Amino acid sequence: MSVRMRHTSSHTANRRSHHALTGLRMGKCEKCGSQKLAHTMCQTCGSYKGRVVVDVLAKGAKREKKRKAEAK
């Protein structure tokens, strides 16, 4: 069977014009001023909407302690 109504390449391109990827929405952290994703906590200071959600310093200390234990 042959194709009766073939779509032209311009029709295909018009349909695919909405498939483009958009960039990440970055914002500035209110506490430390570093770049962060919108609606997520800051990776450097651990705050979200002005309050501390995760204690990043304690997490870093825990990682270092674990690394030292594994190295022995």
pLDDT by residue (tens digit) across 53-71?
A: 988 888 888 999 999 999 8
* Per-residue pLDDT, 60: 84
In a domain, 10, yes or no: no
Predicted confidence (pLDDT) per residue in 5-41, tens digit: 788 999 999 999 999 999 999 999 998 999 999 999 9
Domain residues for 29?
Answer: 25-71
Assess if residue 18 is contained within a domain: no
Q: Quick check: is 59 in a domain?
A: yes
Straight-line distance from the first to the last Cα atom of the chain, in angstroms, rounded to the nearest whole number? 71
pLDDT at 1 > cutoff 70: no
* Domain-embedded: residue 66: yes
Q: How many domains does the chain have?
A: 1
How are beta strands 47-48 and 51-52 bridged, if at all?
Answer: antiparallel
Distance of CA 60 to the CA centre of its chain: 21
Q: Is residue 3 part of a domain?
A: no
Give one DSSP letter per residue of the chain, joined into a string: ---SSPPPHHHHHHHHTT-PPPPP-EEE-TTT--EEETTS--TTT-EETTEE-S-HHHHHHHHHHHHHHHH-
